[in-house]
Amino acid sequence: MTEAPPLLLAVFAGAFGALIGSFLNVCIHRLPRGGSIVWPSSACPHCSRELSWYENIPVVSYLFLRAKCRTCKGAISIRYPFVEALTSVMFVLAWWYYGPGPLLASRLIFGCLLIVLFAIDLEHQLLPNAITLPGIAIGFAFSFFAEPGWIASLLGLLAGGGILYLIAVTYYWIRHEEGLGMGDPKMLAMIGAFLGWRLTLVTLMLASLTGSVVGLGLMAAGKGTMKYALPFGCFLAAGAAIAAGAGPPLLDWYLGLF
Ligand SMILES: [Zn+2]
């Protein structure tokens, strides 16, 4: 951990993060719809009018436009400023926590992939291969220069993908219906490649735990059965984020219980 950052650098990291967040919003909107993420430029999803530069400023434009398109008055999703603010905060915290180096780059790319997967899974119950498969390759490539090292990374991607693949296949074999999509094993393989096998197990434990709690909560509130609970990819993303930030002390504490 490095010293607290000078204010100017923190502001720069935050602004850069917000711009990246704005790009993540484009990915979240276009990837499930099969669109290109580099072309055309941003447009209103309701009236398709191209946005001017001042309608594209992260967070600020949303507040300034009062969550509505300037011409058609169509509602702009709260997801846009939320993703931009979250990415911005992530850049500031990660920069402060890891300091400059390959681990910072690895963790920032990982965080961006998790944000995109979370948002797409929440809205479409889908974890696109276009994110998870390159994610596995990027995570493994980084492991040659940063934590967790390539052996732990390889074990992580095999264990993460393997465990969820077996669960998915077993569930299908018993119930003859899909309980877990095939995107989930690929996502946990990606998490394994970035974090290594130990933190992948922490991620799976956290995701299963929070998934069960939220699922039971929804059932108790009469908001649907277990089957229609939130998509598992969202819990994997949240679990991985916690594991990446607080995993090692969490793991020590857990192993200390035995
Ligand atoms: Zn519009």
What single string gives the DSSP state of each residue in 82-150?
Answer: HHHHHHHHHHHHHHHHH-SSHHHHHHHHHHHHHHHHHHHHHHHS---HHHHHHHHHHHHHHTTTSTT-H
CA 115 – CA 183 distance, rounded (Å): 15
In DSSP terms, which residues pair with 43 in a beta bridge? 50
Residues 6 or more apart whose CB falls under 8 angstroms from that of 138 comprise 109, 193
* pLDDT over 90 percentage in the chain: 66
pLDDT for res 142 = 97
**Distance (Å) from CA 72 to ligand 1 centroid:** 4
**Distance (Å) from CA 43 to ligand 1 centroid:** 8
**Distance (Å) from CA 47 to ligand 1 centroid:** 4
Range 3-18 average pLDDT: 86
How many CA atoms are closer than 13 Å to the CA of 240, on its beta-carbon side?
Answer: 31
Angle (CA) 50-53-57 rounded to 5° is 115
pLDDT for res 221 = 81
Place 42 in a pLDDT band, splitting at 50, 70 and 90.
confident
Range 68-93 average pLDDT: 95
Range 164-191 average pLDDT: 89
**Distance (Å) from CA 251 to ligand 1 centroid:** 48
Q: Give the three-state DSSP class for 61.
A: helix
Place 227 in a pLDDT band, splitting at 50, 70 and 90.
low
Kindly report the pTM of this predicted structure.
0.91
Phi and psi of 189, rounded to 5°? Answer: -65, -40
Helix axes 183-220, 232-256, angle to 10 degrees: 90
Q: Do residues 117 and 237 make contact, with C-beta atoms less than 8 angstroms apart?
A: yes
**Distance (Å) from CA 61 to ligand 1 centroid:** 14
Residues 6 or more apart whose CB falls under 8 angstroms from that of 22 comprise 56, 58, 84
**Distance (Å) from CA 77 to ligand 1 centroid:** 12
CA 79 – CA 77 distance, rounded (Å): 5
Q: Do residues 87 and 69 make contact, with C-beta atoms less than 8 angstroms apart?
A: no
Average pLDDT over the chain reads 90
Q: What are the structure tokens assigned to 16, written together?
A: 């850069």
Range 90-111 average pLDDT: 95
**Distance (Å) from CA 45 to ligand 1 centroid:** 7
Q: What are the structure tokens assigned to 152, written together?
A: 């732990």
**Distance (Å) from CA 131 to ligand 1 centroid:** 28
**Distance (Å) from CA 186 to ligand 1 centroid:** 36
**Distance (Å) from CA 82 to ligand 1 centroid:** 20
Range 174-181 average pLDDT: 80
Does 241 score more than 80 pLDDT? yes
CA 40 – CA 60 distance, rounded (Å): 22
CA 62 – CA 18 distance, rounded (Å): 13
**Distance (Å) from CA 50 to ligand 1 centroid:** 9
